[in-house]
Structure 1
Amino acid sequence: MNVGVFLSAVDLGEQYTVPAREFGKLLGDGGHTLVWGGSETGLMKVVADSVQAAGGRLVGVSVTFLQDKARADADEMVVAADLAQRKAELLRRSDAIVVMVGGMGTLDEATEILELKKHRLHGKPVVLLNSAGFYDGLELQLRRMDAEGFLPLPLSELVYFASDGADALAYLGEQL
């Protein structure tokens, strides 16, 4: 399975690096391919290192202005012209999407992927991996949107909230 992962390229504490490392190992152990932003920094590096160490493939999708931070030993590296093209390429190359912890860029990617799915422009499973309760607030907001009629399809069809990497992969295994 080609798993697209959106996450931070920032160095963060163990409450985020440990789950990222564990998820990467699970991906690699399962023989899956990581499709990610291609960066050799932060959580992106942590996940890629774990996937690679466990025997999985790495497909990076960098962007021109970040190309100097791209991982040199990825199995494949694509360089997109801009962030919009990068998001589209990540989605195109992925069978499923997992959103891990991240900042504004990750939030932008997550909301675009969910908006596209809401309009049925893709039907790929989407998981929010809620490490250390990072997405508790977003989950609360999305549940409110669902309850108050802002979503044209049930939230359960839009996104799955996973407590850890094993939960995320088990859900994806059921969906694909």
Structure 2
Amino acid sequence: MILPNSVCVYCGASSRVSDRYKKAAHDLGTGLASRGVQLVYGGGRVGLMGIVADAAIAAGGRVVGIIPEHIQVLEVEHTALAELHVVDSMHTRKRMMVDRSDAFVVLPGGLGTLDETFEVLTWKQLRLHDKPIVIVDEGGYWAPLAGLVDHMIGEGFCQPGHRNLFRIVDRVEDVFDALAAEPEPSLPPASKWL
């Protein structure tokens, strides 16, 4: 199984969530590290973000965090990472996370996770990248998102092919087969950013 070298994980920073989501974050961090895949994420130490990073570190993985100054000053950054980049804005953070990653995995999360997910989907639609995007529909969490995309297609705001911009899997253990099944990105470096 050939996996990406570096995977960006988008997920929530809340700790007031079901244990099933916490377990999914732990399993993903452990799974990435045990397969030698670097984790790139938002740099926090709380919520699912902290859990996925802690699990990857505990399993001997390399973890890169990217956090904006306005969040870092609240003292929520993770201090045990291989790399922690403190950047000037959310825009810089998101761009750097994309640049440092070969694929994206989305766990349950809130508005920030939704923002990051839609941005990376939009960039893929615009051919700014062609990296794999896998959404983990743990417990049916992202079913409304899939329904929304289908609704947008049905109403003519998206093309049917846009449903192929991402894959949805039911469980963390399915992430790795989904990533391995994706073709390697083929956009040449010169066309990476329009």
Deviation at 1:151, TM superposition (A): 2.5
Question: 2:14 corresponds to which residue?
Answer: 10
Task: Let me know the Cα RMSD of the aligned residues.
Answer: 1.3
Contact 2:134–2:168, Cα closer than 8 Å, also in 1 = yes
Runs of 4+ deviating beyond 4 Å: none
The AA in structure 2 aligned to 1:84 is H
Alignment-mate amino acid for residue 144 of structure 1: H
1:43 paired with 2:48, answer: yes
Structure 1: runs of 5 or more not aligned: none
**Map of 2:78 onto structure 1:** 71
**Which of 14, 30, 40 is 1:25 aligned to?**
30
Retained in 1: the 8 A contact 2:149–2:163? no
User: Which residue matches 2:165?
Assistant: 158
After superposition, give the CA deviation of every residue in 1:77-101 in whole Å (9 maximum; x if it has no partner): 1112111111111111000011111
Percentage of matched positions with identical amino acids: 35
Correspondences of 1:123-134 after superposition (within 5 Å): 123-134=130-141
Query: Does the alignment pair 1:106 with 2:118?
Result: no
CA distance in 2, matches of 1:150, 1:94: 29
Q: Partner amino acid for 2:83?
A: E
The letter for the 1-side match of 2:101 is S
In the alignment, is the contact (CA less than 8 A) between 1:9 and 1:45 conserved in 2?
Answer: yes
TM norm structure 2: 0.86
* C-alpha contact (below 8 Å) 1:118/1:151 kept by paired residues: no
Structure showing the higher helix proportion among its residues: 1
Q: How many pairs does the alignment contain?
A: 176
SS at match of 1:87: helix
- Contact kept in structure 2, 1:118 and 1:152, CA below 8 Å: no
Structure 2 gaps of 5+ residues are 185-194
- The answer to whether the 8 Å contact 2:125/2:162 transfers is no
Tell me which amino acid in the other structure corresponds to 2:140: G
Q: Which residue of 1 aligns with 2:104?
A: 97
Provide the secondary structure at the position in 2 that maps to 1:78. strand
1:64-113 CA distances to partner (integer Å, 9 max, x unpaired)?
01112111110001112111111111111000011111111111111111
Amino acid at match of 2:90: L
Residue type of the alignment partner of 1:102: G
- TM-aligned CA deviation for residue 167 of structure 1: 1.1
SS at match of 1:34: strand
Asked if 2 retains the 8 angstrom alpha-carbon contact of 1:143 and 1:155, the reply is no
User: Partners of 1:164 and 1:79 in 2: how far apart?
Assistant: 32
Q: Alignment partner of 1:69: what SS?
A: coil
Contact 1:21 1:46 in 2 (8 A): yes
CA distance in 1, matches of 2:80, 2:53: 10
